[in-house]
Structure 1
Amino acid sequence: MLAEFSITPLDKGGKQLSEYVAKSLEIIRQSGLKYELHAMGTIVEGEPEAVFALIQTCHMNMRQYSGRVSTSIKIDDKVGVTGALEGKVAAVKERLG
């Protein structure tokens, strides 16, 4: 399963959010799941139970720092597929030549 997600503390006004993103990224790193950080979120790959548990852990962790948290999740769950994190990008690059 691939899941792209972003977790945003909504009560921080115009502050930079990088310190909060870093707190979530440390949890993601410790999970052992493959991941990629992007400008608008993070993509993780793993078994559904591990991915959902990780997102929940990150969400609940953010609640320590914010009274209002927004979590957006986009999931691609294709049975029997692994290596999609790199494979999807490689397939597009191959077509580009």
Structure 2
Amino acid sequence: MSTLAELAIFPLDKGESVSEYVAKVLKIIQQSNLEHQLTPMGTCIEGEFDDIMNIVSKCFKALEPECNRIYLTLKIDFRKNRKNALKQKIKSVEDKLHD
């Protein structure tokens, strides 16, 4: 696994609270069996590039039928020969805090 992505996707036309739609997307991510971590501003996903892009597409397609406007941001960090980036990147910074 060499791709780490942060996905934020939600409708803009469903009022102030969109947690119902975020939960719908999170279920799709959970069913993918890719490593992931929900954060207050999005969900980080680790896996192969094509697998992540497939999940992003599924998430969009799940919202599209009932939403007239969808906001989506996707950040990707690709690095060859890297594994466990979801946890390792955080650990690396935390270790340096204690130096």
Quick one: which amino acid aligns to residue 21 of structure 2?
Answer: Y
How far is the alpha carbon of 1:84 from its aligned partner?
0.4
Please give the secondary structure, in 1, of the residue aligned with 2:7: strand
Please give the secondary structure, in 2, of the residue aligned with 1:53: helix
Aligned length, in residue pairs: 96
Matched, 1:12 2:11: no
Provide Cα deviations, 1:25-77, integer angstroms capped at 9, x if missing partner: 00000000000000000000000010000011001111122011121000000
TM-score normalised by the chain length of structure 2: 0.93
Structure 1: where are the runs of 5+ without partners? none
* Aligned-residue CA RMSD (Å): 0.8
Moved over 3 A (4+): none
Alignment partners' CA distance in 2, 1:64 and 1:36:
26
Give % identity: 40
TM-score normalised by the chain length of structure 1: 0.95
